[in-house]
């Protein structure tokens, strides 16, 4: 032990590394004694300092000789018991702490696992794949489909019809009831298929999201990015602020690290992680702060189903929920259902009345059952279940297409909401620009190097010194030269901040190894690292034992150029010596910053400060770095980030669609304005309101109120100090917010859409502690709910917000649609968002608007189509029943029509592709009616035509087509009856056929009476049979008055003839088929075939509908009550349906209701 202690003491401070061997994974080396490095900080004289408990992994750990070092799942489980951190710590100590754990894994924490170890551990402990809750089987969904009140009632009625019909007519009486059951079965199958598809779509969305995830892991001595599914036990994972935790692990490097575990444990507050109380990280949670470390490094101990999240995930899988549009349509379904219910009740009453008015009260229960079935079927048809289904189908189709175009939809409602977005608050870097930052200009050692000269500049001693140290050590970025498959990138991939990436790329260009500088000069156990702070606009590193020069402590700082410059008292000259920063020199540097900003360069200041030793630095340096004064300015660099090639056109398109694009950036206002002008965001001249200008006029309300409506560009510190009323004046015009913080973005979003505003005094006082609500409620942003509503009678704006950082999460949550970045975005930002822009492009956001509008219009297309079918079907059945006809559309026919409307109509019209014309209109108001005036016009025109056509066929079809086939149904229901009957016709017929009655005498008696008692057409067939009915007819019926010869002749042919109502049914369906083409246009465009060749699903549905209609008419028979009709009557049916097309053409030129209400729109006209 003394030898080991002496060994570590002889290692130079800052070089004391815990080094483990990395033999093959099995068997592990039999370590008997392991030590951590000493964690005592030494001052410049070598005297001992206090123990840094947070940064070290613990004191020396002694593992008894002979201990079994085999790593098993039981050991890993003992370290990862839910809600038992104390027991987990004890079990970790029992195996020798993190050192003992790493020994059992044969893990070198500096180089990570080898490829051989990865494969071995994956084989032993499994992959990092989480179990899923099993999807409901189709059979389960099919059974659940019957859990519908109307279907249950229809099934009961069908069984009653089946039983009664079988009793009255054993040969065919059962057919109607059985046909209804078959139709219900088909409806249930389709419903189950749709539910299955909806669940599958929801899970596909989750899988797509997971497939895009990446985490940083050290393997084979290199930092690489992999999908979390590829992690194994023993992997060393690097986690930064905002990262999601991909597996359960143990912290071994990091200081001041905090995690949010609310997703797993429900604990809302961030929890501090350290080596002595709680070093355990839990998958599915998030790292919210890495404290004074660039990152936190953990060793994976629980993956996949063995992690705490994996053990409960199977029972916590989220279920799909309705979108706002689906909820709105559910309300409409309920309203239409009530109307259909009323129609069903009236039809039922009419049919009951016909029992006595037409049938003389005979067989009342049979007629009651028929009336009940028709009424229930009307309810089934009237309830447009297809409306929410259309939303599901359209969203499913659209979300799949959007993923191919760079938009991963995490929340389905975002797809439809995005279509009516009125504002897009976008970041600059990576969204408007390529995120390929390059340093092209700068000031080093007080000397300006232009863009022309920069390319050939050789680095000076200063550039290789403090500037290089700052670039390498004051950053967490790393460069990746190969992808996951080993293929080399054309350009090194920057993993981390693009700005920091530009700095390390410059070092590489100069031949400086940034990683070697980190390994040489930075120690996570000793030095402090403070990531970028959006409030202070800087990031800082404190090196506590810097070996170069006389000073042992070096503070390195970089950040917003004018902000850092304000805190500088010196600047480094060409030799690297500190010179006083005079007002003249400061003005020179400020002018240079403005010049570079005017060239659309992002400027960054690099500075440092030296201390002799730790005794000279402020005592609280570990939590509050002294980086706000007396800095030495080393350099000011200009970084170019080229605009994306498609951004100008995308911005122009969005503005043409009535969407106000606002750029919210941390750049200074000159750079921001220059870039906004380049990409077309800034339209018109507009004023620029800087902090200095605001300070000059803030006490002049008249001047301020005159200026604010014309402000096109504003600084964040100015905006946050405006009153709510003043902010509203600015928001009507402003297109650029520079030097903004995440809070400024949040204040802008909440003021635009009203989300998250205080709704009462208590909430306001919580937001503004120490302020007086009564006198100051109108002075501070974001305002309050009542005041905000009073100034917005049409409601708030629909706001889409882009974000990539952890601090953007509040603004993303407050927005109507949060758009996180798939490449540069943190896990926190992505979890707070509704859409992940997988390619980080602004043009992808515009495509999301296009698809959102397409979804909205597709739903309206389907709504227009379905309401027409509903109106015609319900009125036709009701009028026919009141007029004394059997229902022109029986129960099975209506169920088929319901299938056409719901599933097939939703498929046909819910999958129309978007067209650029959708971006030529303004967004709709939040509460704009789904059915516009032009749509109502189209519905009424088509309904009127179809209803008139079908009623003509019902009442006058025999006169139009003749008796050849239309008299069958008439005769079937025609009867002669008299209460003073002689004998029942069936009894009389039996006597005649048996020879016990003289047919001639009977015929004479009937002739004298002039009627045939209690007789229906079908009874003639029963008496006379299939042969010799001509003789039978002549003997018994030829001279009987009031009995029509046509009916007798037709009755001789068959018991039933359905051709009359078959023609009505066929014409009705063909009207719907052709009207489906009309429904493709919901406004005044008469070109209903526009883009038809690209609508493959529409054409497929039309073909399938036609084929099924032919099958049902020709083969349906007694099941559907249809019969074969001649080819020429098929042509007539098609022609009658086709007339829906010219009617649709004419109606679009009708001056009535030909334009939508202007009040339905809610967009912007861009300033010019």
| Active centre residues (catalytic) | 427
Q: Three-state SS for 407? A: strand
Rg (CA), the chain: 40
Q: Three-state SS for 560? A: strand
CA distances for 1132 relative to 953, 1062, 1114, angstroms: 12, 12, 16
Nearest to 109 by CA among 230, 223, 31, 278: 223
Question: How many Å apart are CA 923 and CA 353, to the nearest integer?
Answer: 52
Q: Retrieve residue 420's tokens.
A: 């009516």
DSSP characters over 432-484: TB-S--EEEEEEETTEEE-HHHHTTPPP-HHIIIIIHHHHHHS---EEEEE-T
Q: Which residues of 1021-1059 are buried (b: 16+ CB within 10 A; e: fewer)?
A: bebbeeeebeebbeebbeebeebeebbbbbbbeeebbbb
Name the packing angle between helices 742-753 and 724-731 (round to 10°): 90
What distance lies between CA 477 and its chain's CA centroid?
30
> Rounded to 5 degrees, what are φ and ψ at 368?
-65, -45
Question: How many Å apart are CA 95 and CA 79, to the nearest integer?
Answer: 10
DSSP characters over 268-294: -S-EEE-SSS--EE-TT-EEEE-BTSS
What's the start-to-end Cα distance of the chain, in Å? 80
Name the packing angle between helices 386-404 and 842-882 (round to 10°): 160
> Rounded to 5 degrees, what are φ and ψ at 819?
-115, 105
Tell me if 310 sits within 8 A of 247, measured CB to CB.
Answer: no
Map tokens 């074969």 to a residue.
1124
Q: Retrieve residue 695's tokens.
A: 């300070």
Q: What are the residues whose beta carbons fall under 8 Å from the beta carbon of 825, sequence distance 6 or more?
A: 803, 804, 805, 833, 836
Q: Three-state SS for 256? A: coil
Pairing of strands 817-821, 835-837: parallel
Q: Where are the beta strands (DSSP E) in 753-872?
A: 799-803, 817-821, 835-837
Q: Which residues of 957-987 are buried (b: 16+ CB within 10 A; e: fewer)?
A: bbeebebebbbbbbbbebbbeeeeebeebee
Other Cβ atoms within 10 Å of 1103 Cβ, number: 10
Question: How many Å apart are CA 708 and CA 689, to the nearest integer?
Answer: 8
Question: How many Å apart are CA 985 and CA 83, to the nearest integer?
Answer: 87
Q: Three-state SS for 544? A: coil
Q: Three-state SS for 305? A: helix
Name the packing angle between helices 324-357 and 386-404 (round to 10°): 150
Q: What are the residues whose beta carbons fall under 8 Å from the beta carbon of 143, sequence distance 6 or more?
A: none
Could you write out the three-class secondary structure of 690-754? Answer: CHHHHHHHCCCHHHHHHHHHHEEEEEHHHHCCCCHHHHHHHHCCCCEEECCCHHHHHHHHHHHHC
Tell me if 419 sits within 8 A of 364, measured CB to CB.
Answer: no
């Amino acid at each position: 032990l003394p030898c080991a202690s002496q060994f570590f003491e002889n290692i130079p401070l800052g070089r004391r590394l815990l080094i483990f061997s990395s033999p093959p994974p099995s068997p592990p080396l039999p370590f008997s004694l392991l030590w951590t490095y000493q964690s005592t900080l030494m001052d410049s004289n070598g005297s001992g300092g206090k123990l840094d408990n947070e940064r070290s992994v613990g004191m020396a750990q002694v593992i008894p000789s002979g201990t079994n070092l085999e790593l098993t799942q039981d050991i890993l489980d003992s370290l990862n018991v839910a809600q038992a951190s104390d027991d987990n710590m004890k079990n970790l100590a029992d195996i020798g702490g993190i050192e003992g754990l790493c020994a059992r894994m044969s893990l070198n924490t500096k180089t990570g696992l080898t490829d051989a170890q990865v494969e071995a551990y994956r084989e032993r402990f499994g992959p990092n794949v989480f179990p899923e809750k099993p999807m409901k089987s189709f059979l389960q969904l099919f059974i659940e489909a019957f859990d519908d009140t109307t279907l249950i009632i229809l099934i009961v009625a069908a069984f009653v019809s089946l039983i009664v019909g079988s009793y009255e007519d054993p040969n065919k009486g059962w057919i109607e009831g059985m046909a209804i059951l078959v139709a219900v079965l088909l409806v249930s199958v389709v419903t189950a298929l749709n539910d299955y598809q909806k669940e599958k779509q929801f899970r596909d969305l989750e899988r797509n999201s997971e497939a895009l995830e990446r985490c940083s892991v050290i393997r084979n001595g290199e930092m690489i990015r992999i999908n979390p599914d590829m992690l194994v036990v023993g992997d060393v994972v690097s986690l930064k602020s905002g990262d999601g935790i991909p597996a359960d692990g143990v912290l071994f490097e990091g200081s001041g690290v905090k995690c949010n575990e609310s997703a797993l444990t429900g604990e809302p507050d961030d929890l501090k992680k350290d080596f002595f109380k709680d070093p355990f990280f839990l998958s599915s949670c998030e790292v919210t702060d890495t404290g004074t470390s660039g990152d936190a490094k953990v060793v994976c101990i629980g993956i996949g189903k063995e992690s705490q999240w994996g053990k409960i995930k199977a029972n916590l899988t989220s279920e799909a929920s309705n979108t706002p549009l689906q909820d709105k349509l559910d309300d409409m379904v309920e309203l239409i259902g009530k109307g259909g219910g009323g129609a069903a009740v009236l039809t039922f009453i009419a049919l009951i009345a016909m029992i006595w008015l037409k049938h003389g009260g005979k067989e009342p229960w049979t007629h009651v059952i028929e009336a009940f079935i028709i009424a229930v079927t009307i309810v089934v048809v009237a309830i447009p279940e297809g409306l929410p289904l259309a939303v599901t189908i359209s969203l499913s189709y659209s979300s799949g297409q959007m993923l191919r175009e760079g938009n991963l939809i995490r929340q389905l409602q975002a797809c439809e909401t995005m279509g009516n977005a009125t504002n897009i608050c976008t970041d600059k870097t990576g969204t408007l620009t390529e995120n390929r930052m390059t340093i092209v200009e700068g000031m080093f050692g007080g000397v300006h190097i232009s863009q022309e000269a920069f390319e050939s500049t050789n680095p000076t001693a200063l550039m290789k010194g403090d500037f290089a140290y700052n670039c390498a050590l004051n950053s967490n970025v790393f460069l990746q030269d190969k992808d996951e498959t080993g293929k080399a990138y054309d350009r090194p991939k920057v993993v981390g901040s693009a700005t920091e990436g530009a700095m390390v790329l410059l070092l590489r260009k100069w031949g400086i190894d940034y990683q070697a500088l980190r390994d040489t000069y930075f120690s996570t156990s000793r030095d402090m690292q403070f990531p970028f702070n959006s409030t202070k606009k800087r990031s800082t590193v404190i090196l506590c034992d810097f070996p170069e020069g006389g000073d042992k402590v070096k503070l390195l700082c970089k950040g917003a150029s004018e902000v850092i410059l304000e805190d500088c008292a010196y600047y480094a000259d060409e030799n690297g010596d500190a010179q006083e920063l005079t007002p003249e020199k400061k003005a020179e540097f400020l002018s240079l910053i403005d010049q570079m900003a005017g060239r659309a360069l992002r400027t960054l200041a690099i500075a440092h400060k030296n201390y002799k030793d730790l005794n000279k630095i402020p005592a609280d340096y570990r939590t509050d770095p002294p980086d706000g004064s007396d800095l030495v300015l080393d350099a000011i660099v200009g970084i170019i980030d080229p605009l994306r090639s498609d951004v100008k056109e995308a911005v122009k398109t969005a503005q043409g669609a009535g969407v106000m694009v606002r750029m919210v950036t941390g750049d200074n206002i000159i750079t921001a304005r220059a870039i906004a002008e380049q990409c077309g965001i800034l339209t018109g001249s507009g004023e620029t309101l800087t902090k200095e200008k605001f300070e000059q006029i803030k006490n002049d309300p008249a001047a301020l109120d005159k200026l604010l409506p014309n402000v096109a560009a504003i600084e964040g510190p100015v905006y946050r100090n405006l009153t709510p009323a003043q902010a509203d004046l600015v928001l009507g015009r402003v297109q650029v917010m520079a030097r903004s913080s995440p809070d400024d973005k949040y204040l802008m979003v909440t003021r635009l859409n009203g989300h998250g505003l205080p709704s009462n005094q208590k909430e306001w006082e919580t937001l503004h502690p120490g302020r007086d609500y009564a006198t100051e409620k109108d002075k501070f942003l974001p305002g309050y709910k009542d005041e905000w509503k009073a100034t917005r009678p049409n409601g708030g704006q629909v706001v889409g917000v882009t974000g990539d950082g952890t601090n953007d999460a509040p603004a993303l949550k407050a927005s109507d649609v949060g758009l996180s970045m798939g490449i540069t975005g943190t896990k926190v930002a992505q979890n707070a968002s509704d859409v992940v822009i997988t390619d980080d492009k602004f043009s992808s956001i515009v495509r999301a608007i296009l698809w959102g509008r397409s979804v909205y219009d597709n739903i309206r297309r389907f709504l227009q189509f379905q309401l027409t079918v509903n109106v015609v079907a319900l009125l036709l059945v009701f009028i026919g029943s009141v007029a004394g006809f059997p229902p022109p559309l029986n129960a099975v026919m209506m169920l088929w029509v319901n299938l056409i409307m719901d599933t097939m109509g939703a498929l046909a019209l819910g999958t129309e592709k978007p067209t650029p014309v959708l971006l030529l209109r303004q967004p709709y108001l939040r509460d704009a009616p789904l059915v516009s005036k032009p749509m109502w016009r189209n519905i009424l025109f088509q309904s009127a035509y179809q209803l008139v056509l079908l009623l003509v066929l019902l009442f006058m079809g025999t006169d139009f087509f003749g008796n050849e086939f239309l008299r069958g149904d008439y005769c079937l229901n025609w009867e002669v009856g008299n209460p003073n009957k002689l004998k029942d016709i069936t009894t009389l017929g039996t006597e005649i056929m048996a020879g016990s009655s003289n047919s001639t005498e009977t015929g004479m008696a009937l002739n004298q009476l002039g009627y045939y008692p209690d007789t229906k057409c079908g009874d003639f067939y029963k008496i006379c049979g299939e042969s010799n009915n001509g003789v039978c007819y002549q003997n018994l019926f030829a001279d009987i008055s009031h009995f029509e010869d046509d009916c007798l002749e037709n009755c001789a042919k068959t018991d039933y003839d359905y051709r009359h109502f078959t023609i009505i049914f066929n014409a009705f369906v063909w009207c719907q088929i052709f009207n489906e083409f009309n429904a493709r246009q919901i406004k005044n465009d008469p070109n209903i075939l526009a883009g038809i060749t690209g609508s493959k699903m529409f054409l497929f549905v039309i073909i399938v509908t036609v084929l099924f209609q032919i099958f049902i008419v020709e083969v349906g028979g007694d099941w559907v009550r249809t019969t074969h009709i001649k080819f020429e009557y098929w042509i007539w049916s098609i022609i009658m349906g086709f007339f829906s097309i010219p009617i649709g053409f004419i109606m679009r030129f009708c001056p009535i209701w030909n334009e939508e209400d202007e009040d339905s729109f809610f967009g912007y006209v861009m300033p010019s």
